[in-house]
Amino acid sequence: MTDRRVRVRFAPSPTGPLHIGGVRTALYNYLFARQHGGDMVFRIEDTDSNRFVPGAEDYIIESFRWLGIQFDEGVSFGGEHGPYRQSERRDIYKVYVKQLLDEGKAYIAFDTPDELNAKREAVANFQYDAHTRMQMRNSLTLGQAETQRLISEGQQYVVRFLVQPGEEIHVHDIIRGDVRVMSDILDDKVLYKSADELPTYHLANIVDDHLMDISHVIRGEEWLPSAPLHVLLYRAFGWADTMPQFAHLPLLLKPDGKGKLSKRDGDRLGFPVFPLEWHDPKSGEVSSGYRESGYLPEAVINFLALLGWNPGTDQELLSMHELIDQFDLAKCSKSGAKFDYVKGQWFNREYLLRTDDAVLAPQFMALLHEQGISTTPERAAAVVGMMKMKKINFIKDLWPLCDFFFLAPQYDKDDKFTRKNWKEGTAADMLALRQLLEGIDDFSIEAQKAAVDAWAAATGIKPWNPWRVCLVGTGKGPDMYELAAFLGKDETLRRMDAALQALA
């Protein structure tokens, strides 16, 4: 089996927006597939029609497009193992359900929900299994003829897997090592329901992993309890030789480490738990997303990659290429990973600093637009470049730091910085500086700097802080020459005049 082609799948159920934990699962599958030159399949597990949510599938596809996680096959990507939406594979599953029935490895059960509930109430810890199945209404107790009669009468039924007691089941997990359980603890799981003519998750998942030639099943820890049943199903079908290898990823925990991360933690502490904003089609509720909150996709990828795995060095900033190169499934942690969202913000800041200003400009322009300001992409990029090294985690944090680039300041004699820097004689100094600047033709940073520095040296005047008062109105902003060059000569002189008037 060692030279088997690596084929992994991400197989969400379209029951709502993709949770950030699901994104991490997909990312680990992607890193593993790319590392081994293998394939990544996108399958939609929509056999539970009650839980289907319109729009969820498109949302998931758009999330991965934004994040740069690419699939090789699957829903919307095509491929030779389709269809990749389980609701379009009904006929395939029926063949395999029939195979198990014909071979006596599954049986038909008629127990209604009410009957099952009554049983659960009567018997503590009731489980439908070898000890109880002969007390129930199924093909094993009713016999072939009666079973056929009930079906032809139109009675709804389910198909249950017949779990033989006393078998040892061995699950090998790449992350968790060997897990051994006895088949006795399992119940006779429902594999198929006549009511909607659809299989349940377990059957569809196994049949598809087999038919799609999946070599590794990398998924969240919440699926670990299903693994023994899945092993039994592989055996029952005679596919044990090509059974995928399992790797169950650690849970994402609340920021304080106590319990599983939930949407409520995000709401409470103010961070998104979904990749994109989600508008719930039923309730109309809007949940925030990483994209709309101003995260860069590279930052989200880097942050998620390190929740449950690390490269074993001090390196924290890893590009997708480096992650593909260094990722090691076997070194994923077994214990849950705390969702340190503050670290996620730090990653965003680091990626902002490393991202081209022109790429960041559209986000900043949108922010300006909300303030009723329109500017060119070049000017937006210039401001981002001057200001992004200030303490910001998101482009949206820039507005309060950058308003004066676009709006003439209000002057306030009581402003602390102004009071400290606008003294007697300052007005005269600023008037002199104004005259000097008016005489400069080349208003570039370099030319201004040469002229002003020379003048300052000759006169002993230190004009920079009062000049800042003139152009900004207070003690914030970039280097004065950068700012004046950005504003241009006319606006610079206009602001100096306004300040001289207001602060006289």
> Of the two residues 204 and 461, which places its CB atom closer to ligand GLU in the complex?
204
Among residue numbers 64 through 123, which ones bind ligand GLU (CB under 6 A)?
Answer: none
How many helices (H) and strands (E) would you count in the chain? 20, 15
> Of the two residues 223 and 394, which places its CB atom closer to ligand GLU in the complex?
223
The Cα 96–Cα 203 span in angstroms is: 9
Tokens for 494, please give them.
Answer: 């206009």
> Of the two residues 15 and 288, which places its CB atom closer to ligand GLU in the complex?
15
CB 14 → ligand GLU: shortest distance, Å? 9
Tokens for 197, please give them.
Answer: 């003519």
Name the segment binding ligand GLU (CB under 6 A); options: 10-18, 58-66, 92-100, 279-287. Answer: 10-18
Selected binder of ligand GLU within 89, 105, 160, 219 (CB under 6 A) = 219
Could you tell me where the DSSP H helices lie in 212-329?
Answer: 227-237, 263-269, 297-305, 320-326
Tokens for 149, please give them.
Answer: 């009669």
Of 120, 112, 58, 99, the closest CA to residue 199 belongs to 99
Selected binder of ligand GLU within 27, 28, 34, 45 (CB under 6 A) = 45
Of 357, 346, 347, 366, the closest CA to residue 387 belongs to 357
Selected binder of ligand GLU within 13, 200, 421, 492 (CB under 6 A) = 13
Is 263 labeled as catalytic in the residue annotation? yes
Exposure string over 50-85, b if 16+ CB within 10 A, otherwise e: eeebeebbebbbebbebbebebbbbbeeebebbebb
Question: Does 215 participate in binding ligand GLU (rule CB under 6 A)?
Answer: no
The Cα 36–Cα 4 span in angstroms is: 11
The Cα 491–Cα 489 span in angstroms is: 6
Selected binder of ligand GLU within 7, 8, 12, 74 (CB under 6 A) = 12
Name the segment binding ligand GLU (CB under 6 A); options: 7-15, 331-339, 350-358, 365-373. Answer: 7-15
Among residue numbers 374 through 393, which ones bind ligand GLU (CB under 6 A)?
Answer: none
CB 57 → ligand GLU: shortest distance, Å? 12
Residues 6 or more apart in contact with residue 394 via CB below 8 angstroms? 293, 294, 295, 345, 348, 352
Name the segment binding ligand GLU (CB under 6 A); options: 9-17, 178-186, 376-384, 399-407. Answer: 9-17
The Cα 378–Cα 422 span in angstroms is: 34
Active-site hit among 119, 263, 338, 489: 263
CA 245 to each of CA 13, 324, 465, 471: distance values in angstroms, whole numbers, following the listed order: 21, 20, 66, 65
- Give the interface size with ligand GLU as a residue count (CB under 6 A): 7
> Of the two residues 12 and 74, which places its CB atom closer to ligand GLU in the complex?
12
Residue the block writes with tokens 């074993």:
312
CB 11 → ligand GLU: shortest distance, Å? 4
Residues 6 or more apart in contact with residue 21 via CB below 8 angstroms? 220, 251, 252, 261
CA 499 to each of CA 253, 411, 422: distance values in angstroms, whole numbers, following the listed order: 54, 7, 10
> Of the two residues 45 and 415, which places its CB atom closer to ligand GLU in the complex?
45
Question: Does 395 participate in binding ligand GLU (rule CB under 6 A)?
Answer: no
> Of the two residues 16 and 473, which places its CB atom closer to ligand GLU in the complex?
16
Selected binder of ligand GLU within 183, 205, 302, 393 (CB under 6 A) = 205
Question: Does 223 participate in binding ligand GLU (rule CB under 6 A)?
Answer: yes
CB 282 → ligand GLU: shortest distance, Å? 19
CB 329 → ligand GLU: shortest distance, Å? 15
CB 255 → ligand GLU: shortest distance, Å? 23
- Give residues in contact with ligand GLU (CB under 6 A): 11-13, 45, 205, 219, 223
Q: Which sequence positions are flagged as catalytic?
A: 263
